[in-house]
């Protein structure tokens, strides 16, 4: 079995768990490892490039269907956009059926940028992440050549008898 990028990067969820966990949820040493890992910048760059600045679409299981408690009593035939509009705007959510007058369907996320901010991935850092990947690649090439040179090439102070 050969290791392809899909096997090592996508199919193994162990790697992505550490990337989508934010640093403030980690103990001290792992914050350092999070910031040093090139995989953090790779996944962050791919996520921000792929899904930023789009509208989030919630599945039925991810929505709230009903009325918000603490609001004044709902008037009959009042559209959901008028009833839940201020709440949805303040909470950065979206009303899925704004013209409905019976049961409102509310999604807690309106934009994908809200999700990306929760995992420390921003569109503005995409080019920085791309550059950091090239720095990591260049460092590894230089380090590999340097270690090879140190280990394989004879030094001037050694003489064969």
For the chain, the three-class secondary structure string (H helix, E strand, C coil) is: CCCCHHHHHHCCHHHHHHHHCCHHHCCHHHHHHHHHCHHHHHHHHHHHHHHCCCECCCCHHHEEEECCCCCCCCCCCCCHHHHHHHHHHHCCCEECCCCCCCCEEEECCCEHHHHHHHCCCCHHHHHHHHHHHHHHHHHHHHHHHHHHHHHHCCCCCCCCC
Q: pLDDT tens digits, residue range 142-160?
A: 999 999 999 998 777 656 6
Tell me the average pLDDT across 90-100: 91
* pLDDT at residue 69 in the model: 54
Q: pLDDT tens digits, residue range 46-78?
A: 999 999 999 998 998 989 887 655 556 667 778
Q: Where are the domains of the chain?
A: 12-27+36-53+120-152, 55-110
* pLDDT at residue 38 in the model: 92
Q: Which of 51-60, 95-104, 130-139 has the highest mean pLDDT?
A: 130-139
Residues whose CB is less than 8 angstroms from the CB of residue 38 and which lie 6 or more positions away in sequence, other chains included: 132, 133, 136
What pTM, to 2 d.p., does this model score?
0.68
Confidence of residue 123 (pLDDT cuts 50, 70, 90): very high
Q: pLDDT tens digits, residue range 109-119?
A: 999 999 899 88
Cα gap 82→100, rounded to integer Å: 10
């Amino acid at each position: 079995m050969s290791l392809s990028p899909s096997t090592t990067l996508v199919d193994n969820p162990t790697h992505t768990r550490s990337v989508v966990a934010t640093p403030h949820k980690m103990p001290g040493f792992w914050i350092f490892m999070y910031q040093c890992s090139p995989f953090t910048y790779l996944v962050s760059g791919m996520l921000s490039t792929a899904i930023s600045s789009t509208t989030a679409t919630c599945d039925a299981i991810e929505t709230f269907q009903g009325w918000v408690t603490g609001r004044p009593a709902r008037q009959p035939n009042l559209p959901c956009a008028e009833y839940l509009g201020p709440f949805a705007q303040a909470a950065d959510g979206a009303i899925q059926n704004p013209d409905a007058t019976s049961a409102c369907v509310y999604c807690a996320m309106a934009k994908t940028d809200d999700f990306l901010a929760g995992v420390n991935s921003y569109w503005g850092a995409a080019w920085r992440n791309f550059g950091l990947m090239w720095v990591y690649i260049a460092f590894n090439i230089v380090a590999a050549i340097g270690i090879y040179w140190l280990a394989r090439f004879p030094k001037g102070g050694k003489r064969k008898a």
